[in-house]
């Protein structure tokens, strides 16, 4: 097996002129930069449209794309927007931060203007796209149009007739909101046209895309509204239980995510049809698919609906390996990464092993003095070949920030492991990167913030917090030749060069 390397950088974090990273020229420049740095993979976060809190793991749809990623520059080139219109919009003034409120208030009016000028109904490619994706797009476009009509509130607060999808209400809103539905379909057409082009460019240059799908869908999503039978909901489509994580050393009350839980017996009775559609679709979008919270397929934590914390939750059995046997039988073999972090039981280890998917090894977890038992799994000398090595993920502190935050005892433990008592702390991030790069893991992914030696001000996400996450982005001058040469050197040194 080839030893490979890649960089974790969300699309939102790309440099851009208009407030948020997107499929603009900077995305193509980043692909070129990755290729020249010897990288094989670009790992991104979920691409779905985000809801309250701006988390890519809480999306209005598991199939739709985020309209924020549509390149305004490309719409200017098409002639449906002017550069002056884009330049006059207020996207926020801080170049390395995303102001989601201003993005929302400025991008959608521009996108609506582009739609109105597009004469999209006369475009045969658009008509083909709508027909080909009708199986998810019809429900999603109606969902978003009705959501706008009701002032953006969750679908559980809509009028009963449309909340419960009565046929006369569905017909009424399809007629009443015809142009708003077409607008939503237009956004998806532009999103997927631009994404397909960017992915093709990456692949032509030997760069593969690692996509990311959350195990759960959001309660306030087209998926839950359109297919309540898939989830643990009552006859009024109110959840009976929701997802989360139990209390642990990091949180005394656990994590209450609030996502609806799957009705796994129903899924099994259909041959996991919805999951097969979801995975098939993901394999069209990405070269490799990382499945978040993989252990939830073995056992999932069920919390009574209405609970304020996860304390009263309990474990339930999931579908286990049966789902993935079905996937290989129906879809063939595909590259998948199992996010098997957190509390890992023997049955989870067995499921990951039987699936054949590589699990994840995160260096930061190795030096946790509170949990010496599972920490040993994360020491690089214990990594197995069929694994993906990380310094940290989007949910972790940056490696530089992490080293500052751990205890004096843990810092000494890390230096002892490195056999390095002398490197200045501000340069130590390079030693940690080299440590995971020389492990025997076939694949190694480093977050861009770690290559840049950035502290926790540039952290992507701090779980269980709101208002400060998903905001960091690169500025135009950050992707320097010097940084590229450093990454190329360490990649070459440890035999992880792109073989294309």
Question: Which residues does the annotation mark as catalytic?
Answer: 292, 339, 395
Structure token digits, residue 16 = 């851009």
H/E stretch holding 291: strand 288-291
Residue 173 burial by CB count (10 A; 0-12/13-18/19+): exposed, middle or buried? buried
Beta-bridge partners for 288: 210
Cα–Cα distance measured from residue 303 to residue 296, given in angstroms and rounded to the nearest whole number? 14
Q: What DSSP designation does 218 have? A: P
263: how many CB neighbours lie within 10 A of its CB?
Answer: 16
Report strand pairing: 314-317 vs 299-304.
antiparallel
**Pairing between strand 299-304 and 208-213?**
unpaired
Q: Retrieve residue 103's tokens.
A: 């993005």
Q: In this structure, what DSSP letter does residue 380 have? A: G
Give the bridge partners for 260, in sequence order: 242
What's the CA gap between 493 and 181, in Å, rounded? Answer: 53
- The string of DSSP codes covering 360-427 is EEEGGGGG-TT-HHHHGGGSGGG--SSEEEES--TTSPPHHHHHHHS-HHHHHHHHHHHT-S-S-GGG
The tokens describing 188, both together, are 């998806």
Percent of residues in the chain assigned helix, strand, coil, to nearest 5: 50, 10, 40
208: three-class secondary structure by DSSP: strand
């Amino acid at each position: 097996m080839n030893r490979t390397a890649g960089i974790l950088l969300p699309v939102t974090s790309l440099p851009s002129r208009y407030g948020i990273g997107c499929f603009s020229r900077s995305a193509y420049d980043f692909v070129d930069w990755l290729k020249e740095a010897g990288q094989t993979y670009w790992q991104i976060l979920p691409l779905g449209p985000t809801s309250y809190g701006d988390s890519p793991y809480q999306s209005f749809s598991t199939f739709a794309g985020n309209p924020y990623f549509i390149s305004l520059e490309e719409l200017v080139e098409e002639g449906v927007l002017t550069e002056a219109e884009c330049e006059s919009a207020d996207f926020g003034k801080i170049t390395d931060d995303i102001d989601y409120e201003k993005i929302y208030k400025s991008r959608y009016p521009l996108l609506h203007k582009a739609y109105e000028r597009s004469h999209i109904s006369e475009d045969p490619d658009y008509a083909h796209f709508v027909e080909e994706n009708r199986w998810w797009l019809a429900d999603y476009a109606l969902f978003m149009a009705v959501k706008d009509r009701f002032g953006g509130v969750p679908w559980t607060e809509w009028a009963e007739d449309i909340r419960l999808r009565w046929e006369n209400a569905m017909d009424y809103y399809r007629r009443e909101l015809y142009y708003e539905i077409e607008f939503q379909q237009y956004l998806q057409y532009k999103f997927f046209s631009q994404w397909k082009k960017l992915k093709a460019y990456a692949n032509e240059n030997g760069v593969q895309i690692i996509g990311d799908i959350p195990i759960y869908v959001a309660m306030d999503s087209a998926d839950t509204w359109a297919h309540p039978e898939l989830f643990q909901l009552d006859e009024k489509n109110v959840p009976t239980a929701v997802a989360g994580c139990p209390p642990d050393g990091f949180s005394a009350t656990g994590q209450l995510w609030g996502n609806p839980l799957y009705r796994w017996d129903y899924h099994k009775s259909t041959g996991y049809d919805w999951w097969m559609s979801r995975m098939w679709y993901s394999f069209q979008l990405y070269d490799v698919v990382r499945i978040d919270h993989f252990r939830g397929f073995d056992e999932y934590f069920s919390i009574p609906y209405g609970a304020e914390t996860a304390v009263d939750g309990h474990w339930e059995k999931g579908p286990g390996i049966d789902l993935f046997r079905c996937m290989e039988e129906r879809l063939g073999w595909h590259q998948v990464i199992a996010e098997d972090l957190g509390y890992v039981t023997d049955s989870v280890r067995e499921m990951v092993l039987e699936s054949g998917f590589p699990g994840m090894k995160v260096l930061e977890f190795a030096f946790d003095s509170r949990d010496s038992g599972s920490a040993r799994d994360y020491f690089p000398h214990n990594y197995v070949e069929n694994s993906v090595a990380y310094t940290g993920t989007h949910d972790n502190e940056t490696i530089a920030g992490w080293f500052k935050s751990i205890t004096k005892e843990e810092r000494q433990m890390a230096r002892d492991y490195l056999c390095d008592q002398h490197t200045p702390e501000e340069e130590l991030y390079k030693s940690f990167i080299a440590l995971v790069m020389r492990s025997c893991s076939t694949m190694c992914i480093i977050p861009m913030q770690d290559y840049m030696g950035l502290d926790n001000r540039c952290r992507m996400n701090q779980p269980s917090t709101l208002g400060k996450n998903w905001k960091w982005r690169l500025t135009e001058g950050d992707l320097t030749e010097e940084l590229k040469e450093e990454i190329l050197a360490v990649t070459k040194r440890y035999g992880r060069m792109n073989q294309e």
